[in-house]
Amino acid sequence: MIDGVNIAQCSAMQISDLAAFVRRIDEPSVAPLLAGLRHTLDSLVEIGLGYLSLDRTSSTLSGGEAQRVKMVRHLGSSLTDVTYVFDEPTVGLHPHDISRMNDLLLRLRDKGNTVLVVEHKPEVIAIADHVVDLGPGAGPAGGQICYSGDVPGLRASDTLTGRHLEHRVRLRESVREPRGKISIEGADLHNLRGVDVDIPTGVLTVVTGVAGSGKSSLIHGYLSVRDGVAVADQSPIRGSRRSNPATYTGLLNPVRTAFAKENGVKAALFSANSEGACPGCNGLGLVYTDLAMMAGVASVCEKCEGRRFTPEVLTYTLRGKNISEVLGMSTAEAYDFFPSGQARAILGRLIDVGLSYLRLGQPLSTLSGGERQRLKLAIHMAEKSTTYVLDEPTTGLHMADVDKLLALLDRLVDAGNTVVVIEHHQAVMARADWLIDLGPGGGHDGGRVVFTGTPAELVADGDTLTAEHLRQYIG
């Protein structure tokens, strides 16, 4: 034991408490070890993970938390002249935590390393020495370098990113009146401290607060489990390597029917999981080879050349396109291709959630967390749900696409639904009818409701970290 505390108790401590405990230890024989430990623990606190404990299993960490843990591991490394690539490290971070993470990125650079960050947040773009902007659109409309240079040059450029760097969403002029309320009483899951809170119905409610403040515990633990609540989150979609947006959304059924009707054959021929599948790859388009000791290898099927169907099936066409060509279309192309019916309705919902660039036959395993969430939302929009719960829907979205998402959330509310969004993005907070702010910190420093009210009230009178950053955002 050290000061009456054993190793299991140290592991169970919140990291911010453990850092304070380690700082009190004064033992010259292990001074170098203590210095390294203090540096690692302080870095975890600095990057906004002070609310975790060391005995927390890795599988329970969110994608953003896992990425930030990896960042801290590299920060403690004595290596220099290394190239680091970070893919949206701001996922799950409150604006307060983003500024702290920026400091860590700059420290990594100043140690003599090259730091590449794939990111949409203006706060992170602002600290870059060099920016590469790709576009001009997404999917087939992208893939070109639109700008390369410093941040002032990006602001002056006429690219989509350049135009949106200073773009700010205004507070709602008049908030919608709630039709009723959903009450949560005595919520005490994880770090929640007997929280009592009312969620208004028929409006857009945003639940916010620093990382680890208890937002997910409150909403997923007490609201998502109720009847009539549709949850769209970023968890992996269950399905095999055969699953794609066409199969997952049910789009393939009307597509197969249209092909069958046009050619006077049965619909089963147009499924890569049924009679029409290429026998060489069983309709996968790829042949997977297990190399036992090493990672498996996927190679394009030589028989169908990746088209997934038999030569006979590929002779059947619909308006000049075969089934493989249709599945290779983007959502936007397919929307123009199908002039009416169920297929067009499904494709319209995919476009509404910002997935116009997604290919219909693209394996679901290639989708990011944000794309998976928006795909789930598109499916839920077809149901007659009354309450939608979204968990950080702005993940992976460009600033221009955030505006489209806000318009979609407004449409959902105006159609008579209740929409509850767990979110850190100030644009979403600004457009909310009602805000619930948790905190004041993360871990045992959080778990309390520190503000409920309209965004205008938070900006005018709030004294929370969220209030401070929302004030800065709207200027």
- How far apart are the C-alpha atoms of 137 and 351, rounded to whole Å? 14
Query: Which pLDDT score, from 0 to 100, does residue 63 have?
Result: 67
Helices 63-75 & 31-44, crossing angle to 10 degrees?
Answer: 150
Q: What are phi and psi of 391, to 5 degrees?
A: -110, 105
Q: Are residues 287 and 389 in the same domain?
A: no
Q: Are residues 249 and 361 in the same domain?
A: yes
- Among residues 377, 403, 401, which one has the least CA distance to residue 391? 377
- For 58, residues 6+ apart whose C-beta sits below 8 A from its C-beta are 66
Q: Are residues 361 and 278 in the same domain?
A: yes
154 lies in a domain? no
- Among candidate residues 344, 365, 386, the one where a domain is terminated: 365
190 lies in a domain? yes
Residues 244 and 272 sit within 8 Å (Cβ to Cβ): no
- How far apart are the C-alpha atoms of 365 and 349, rounded to whole Å? 21
pTM: 0.87
- Among residues 123, 203, 473, 178, which one has the least CA distance to residue 462? 473
- Among residues 110, 116, 112, 143, which one has the least CA distance to residue 131? 116
3 state DSSP class of 316: coil
Q: Which residues pair with 435 in a beta bridge?
A: 206, 453
- How far apart are the C-alpha atoms of 34 and 32, rounded to whole Å? 5
Q: Are residues 227 and 267 in the same domain?
A: no
27 lies in a domain? yes
Record the tokens describing residue 454, joined without a space: 């309209």
- Give Cα 421 distance to the centre of its chain: 12
Q: Are residues 353 and 374 in the same domain?
A: no
| Element (DSSP H or E) covering residue 232 | strand 229-232
DSSP string, 13-36: SBHHHHHHHHHT---GGGHHHHHH
429 lies in a domain? yes
Which CATH number belongs to the domain containing residue 343 in this structure? 1.20.1580.10
Q: Are residues 350 and 408 in the same domain?
A: no
Q: What are phi and psi of 128, to 5 degrees?
A: -70, 145
Q: Are residues 407 and 264 in the same domain?
A: no
Query: Which pLDDT score, from 0 to 100, does residue 46 have?
Result: 82
- Among candidate residues 348, 365, 382, the one where a domain is terminated: 365
251 lies in a domain? yes
Query: Which pLDDT score, from 0 to 100, does residue 156 have?
Result: 95
Q: Are residues 257 and 357 in the same domain?
A: yes
- Give Cα 22 distance to the centre of its chain: 35
Q: Are residues 360 and 371 in the same domain?
A: no
355 lies in a domain? yes
Q: Residue type for 73, please?
A: R
250 lies in a domain? yes
* Burial of 402: CB neighbours in 10 Å, binned 0-12, 13-18, 19+: buried
Please state the domain count of the chain. 3
Query: Which pLDDT score, from 0 to 100, does residue 124 have?
Result: 96
Q: Are residues 352 and 270 in the same domain?
A: yes
Q: Which domain holds residue 23?
A: 1-56
Q: Please provide the distance, in angstroms rounded to a whole number, between the alpha carbons at the two ends of the chain.
A: 52
Q: pLDDT tens for the chain, 475 residues: list them.
A: 898 999 999 999 999 999 999 999 998 999 999 998 998 999 898 888 888 999 988 887 776 778 788 878 877 677 889 999 988 888 888 898 888 889 889 988 998 999 999 999 999 999 999 999 999 988 788 999 999 999 999 999 999 999 999 999 999 989 999 999 999 999 999 899 999 999 999 999 999 998 889 999 999 999 999 999 999 988 778 777 889 999 999 999 999 999 999 999 999 999 998 899 999 999 999 998 888 777 788 899 999 999 999 999 999 999 999 999 999 999 999 999 999 999 999 999 999 888 999 999 999 988 888 888 889 999 988 887 789 999 999 988 899 889 989 999 999 999 999 999 999 999 999 999 999 999 998 888 999 999 999 999 999 999 999 999 999 999 8
Q: What angle do CA 467, 400, 376 make, to 5 degrees?
A: 85
Q: Are residues 372 and 281 in the same domain?
A: no
Q: Are residues 225 and 374 in the same domain?
A: yes
Record the tokens describing residue 75, joined without a space: 């920060």
Q: What are phi and psi of 182, to 5 degrees?
A: -110, 120
DSSP string, 216-232: HHHHHHHTTTSTTEEEE
3 state DSSP class of 341: helix
Which CATH number belongs to the domain containing residue 451 in this structure? 3.40.50.300
107 lies in a domain? no
- Among candidate residues 30, 56, 82, the one where a domain is terminated: 56
Record the tokens describing residue 258, joined without a space: 């249209």
